[in-house]
Structure 1
Amino acid sequence: MKLLLKPAVALGLAMAAASPLVSAPAYAQSANGVGVVSLPAAVANSNAYKVAEQQRPVTYKAQLDQAEARRAAIAAQLQPMMTKFNTDRQAANPNQQALQQQATQIQQIEQNGQRELQQILAPVSLSRAYVTEQIEDKLDDAVQAAAKKKNITLILDPSQGAVVFADAKHNITQDVVNELNALLPSAQLVPPQGWLPREIREQQAAAAAAQGQQPAAPATGAQPTGR
């Protein structure tokens, strides 16, 4: 069995933006050899992922504090500009050219600020991608182990649009979480120097192959057993 997993970066960002996921209940057995598992939910509810989410604000406190301070500063800079813009456009005969210039300036500050915040928080995003990829590397084994224990021969993933409806008795997401917890009790939080997410590594390898070059060996770091 080979699972089709979403790229680590996309999956990590999607789960960060979503509401907290609730673990699916465990069931004694699946029906007719068919199981349903949400792979993103299995990743997000694994102990390795949840512990990393708790540790990250402490490990990356400096970056998070810097980002919050910079965000507040940008908001303070924009507030009087927005007030003036709203006041000017409500005038009896507003100067459209001046309004356009103000709007452009406000937009530029917002865009530059967003890029700056993303740069400050890049280590945080990279950490989340690193943790998620470690879990993904164990996900295929976890699904196979859960399927074997439940005598399942067909597994569907509703998050990838494969299932419209399934009775709760088919759900083995918690079983997969249990297997993940056994295979990877914890994950390394901080990526090794030079580490890049799988999606970027694959893009670089493809580009190097297209140019007839040997792709650079990815940074692997220690085995993902620590925190």
Structure 2
Amino acid sequence: MKNLLKPVVAAGLMLTAASAPMLAAPAVAQDARGVGVVSLPAVIANSNAYQTAEQQRQTTYKAQIDQAEARRQQLEAQLTPMIQKFNTDRQAANPDQQALQQQAAQIQQIEQSGQRELQQILAPVSLSRAYAQEQIEDRLDEAVQAAAQKKNVSLILDATSGQVIYAGAQHNLTQDVLNELNALVPSVQVTPPQGWVPREIREQQQAAQAAQGAQPAQQPQQQQPTGR
């Protein structure tokens, strides 16, 4: 089941305490048919462990956070007048397009370089958040199953994608389908007939023939009569 959870959980990797979505409804909701929905990123972001880790991280990594904030303010102070000048110059009656391109390239270079620098400063913070989240994810399957049992829910879907993240045994129709197939196809031939090709190749051949048949036939050129 953990493999099924990964695509959904990955969406919440960068959630912080400030941006964590509040749960407007219970994480697992049951309907009359025993089907529930759950938002795994919201569960993680609003968990006590995650919220506590976010608070502790502000203290543990205060030096890196303060350094990044100071550098961000420096970059903003550097870029603000450059952006203002760029906007003023491009509104001129006859703007110098070459000069504008140079200004834009310089602004973009500073922004990209600044982002890389901030990411490097905050790398320990990001690593800490990923480590904390992984510890929560390790128990997420267990929490989903426990909630399903308490709510008497036999099928749980992801609230965003609709992907099945938990299914009781009664929803597994593999054996039932197998029984029906065995009745419909009790045996098959192992030696293909002469000229047989796989379906994929047959479909490609049919598509090619259809495309060729759809092309308009070329009209023969009429021969001009020769004068005597």
Q: Is the TM value for this pair above 0.5?
A: yes
Residue in structure 1 matched with residue 130 of structure 2 by the alignment: 129
Q: Output the CA distance in 2 between the equivalents of 1:69 and 1:27.
A: 42
**1:132-158 Cα deviation digits (max 9, x unpaired):** 111111011111122222332211121
**1:57-79 Cα deviation digits (max 9, x unpaired):** 11111111111110111111112
Q: Output the CA distance in 2 between the equivalents of 1:161 and 1:146.
A: 18
Q: Which amino acid aligns with 1:76?
A: A
Q: Output the CA distance in 2 between the equivalents of 1:3 and 1:101.
A: 48
- 1:156 is paired with a residue whose SS is strand
Q: Output the CA distance in 2 between the equivalents of 1:137 and 1:43.
A: 11
Moved over 4 A (4+): 7-10, 14-19, 26-30
Q: Output the CA distance in 1 between the equivalents of 2:93 and 2:34.
A: 72
- 2:36 is paired with a residue whose SS is strand
> What is the aligned length?
163
Q: Work out whether residues 40 and 159 of structure 1, in 8 Å CA contact, stay in contact via their aligned partners in 2.
A: no
Q: Work out whether residues 33 and 153 of structure 1, in 8 Å CA contact, stay in contact via their aligned partners in 2.
A: yes
Structure 1 residues 27, 39: CA separation in 2 closer, same or farther (over 3 Å shift)?
closer
Higher Cα radius of gyration:
2
Gaps spanning 5+ residues in structure 1: where?
Answer: 164-227
> Residue 119 of structure 1: CA displacement?
1.1
TM-score by length of 2: 0.62
Q: Which amino acid aligns with 1:49?
A: Y
RCO (CA 8 Å, sep 6+): is it higher in 1 or 2?
Answer: 1
Higher deviation after alignment, 40-49 or 103-112: 40-49
Residue in structure 2 matched with residue 44 of structure 1 by the alignment: 45
Q: Work out whether residues 39 and 159 of structure 1, in 8 Å CA contact, stay in contact via their aligned partners in 2.
A: no
Gaps spanning 5+ residues in structure 2: where?
Answer: 165-228
Higher deviation after alignment, 91-100 or 102-111: 91-100
TM-score by length of 1: 0.62
- 1:5 is paired with a residue whose SS is helix
Q: Work out whether residues 34 and 152 of structure 1, in 8 Å CA contact, stay in contact via their aligned partners in 2.
A: yes
Q: Which amino acid aligns with 2:129?
A: R
Q: Output the CA distance in 2 between the equivalents of 1:15 and 1:64.
A: 13
Q: Output the CA distance in 2 between the equivalents of 1:26 and 1:77.
A: 45
Residue in structure 1 matched with residue 5 of structure 2 by the alignment: 5
Q: What is the RMSD of the two structures over their aligned residues, measured on CA atoms?
A: 2.7
Residue in structure 2 matched with residue 109 of structure 1 by the alignment: 110
Q: Output the CA distance in 1 between the equivalents of 2:88 and 2:28.
A: 61
Q: Percent identity?
A: 73
Residue in structure 2 matched with residue 69 of structure 1 by the alignment: 70
- 2:144 is paired with a residue whose SS is helix
Q: Output the CA distance in 2 between the equivalents of 1:153 and 1:71.
A: 49
Residue in structure 1 matched with residue 59 of structure 2 by the alignment: 58
> Residue 44 of structure 1: CA displacement?
1.6
Residue in structure 1 matched with residue 152 of structure 2 by the alignment: 151
Q: Which amino acid aligns with 2:159?
A: P
Q: Work out whether residues 23 and 45 of structure 1, in 8 Å CA contact, stay in contact via their aligned partners in 2.
A: no
Q: Work out whether residues 38 and 157 of structure 2, in 8 Å CA contact, stay in contact via their aligned partners in 1.
A: yes
Q: Output the CA distance in 1 between the equivalents of 2:110 and 2:47.
A: 39
Q: Work out whether residues 27 and 38 of structure 2, in 8 Å CA contact, stay in contact via their aligned partners in 1.
A: no
Q: Output the CA distance in 2 between the equivalents of 1:125 and 1:38.
A: 22
Q: Which amino acid aligns with 1:5?
A: L
> Residue 159 of structure 1: CA displacement?
2.3
